[in-house]
Structure 1
Amino acid sequence: MSPAPPPDWVLARRRLVGDRIRDARLHANLTQERLAERAGMDRQAVNRIEQGHQSPILDNLFRIADALNVPLADLVR
């Protein structure tokens, strides 16, 4: 039995976090590829997180925030 899909409000918050990551990445003048390299991830994972298609694990959020040189709280507030 597969788990129930997340409620709409969770999906909306996930998209909001992805938007904040994208905004911070663009502000830092980084491509998804470069952010992925800095964070030790693959570009496809960064893309899925920015698009809200994947819920990032906390470790990856730490990596992304560090690679962007922004506080984690700025990405998930």
Structure 2
Amino acid sequence: MPTDPLPARVLARRQAIGDRIRAARTERKITQEKLGELVGADRKTINRIEQGSYATTIDRLILIADALETPLADLVR
């Protein structure tokens, strides 16, 4: 794990991905709790991913995209 802070551009991209996840989730009228159940995470984790404050794994992003019936590429573009 790097000890240096991440560049601002990385944090901004993480936030943008979180924003797209939140938009897809709310468009489909799925709560954070329900999305968490579908992907094996708690509501707090989903919230942190959407806020961009948590670096999740690619595996969890795939699960989120599948649960939201959204292409992964649309979430991470």
TM-score interval w.r.t. the shorter chain? over 0.9
1:21 is paired with a residue of what secondary structure? helix
- RMSD value over aligned CA atoms? 0.9
What letter is aligned with 1:69?
Answer: E
Which TM-score applies when normalising by structure 2? 0.94
Cα displacement string for residues 37-56 of structure 1 (whole angstroms, at most 9, x for unaligned residues): 11121111100000000011
Aligned length: 76
Whether 1:44 and 2:44 are equivalent positions in the alignment is: yes
The runs of 5 or more residues in structure 2 that have no matched partner are none
Q: Which whole-Å CA distance do the structure 2 matches of 1:63 and 1:14 have between them? A: 17
Find runs of 4+ consecutive structure 1 residues off by over 2 angstroms: none
Alignment of 1:1-77 (within 5 A): 3-77=3-77
Q: Which whole-Å CA distance do the structure 2 matches of 1:58 and 1:42 have between them? A: 17
Identity of aligned residues (%): 55
The runs of 5 or more residues in structure 1 that have no matched partner are none
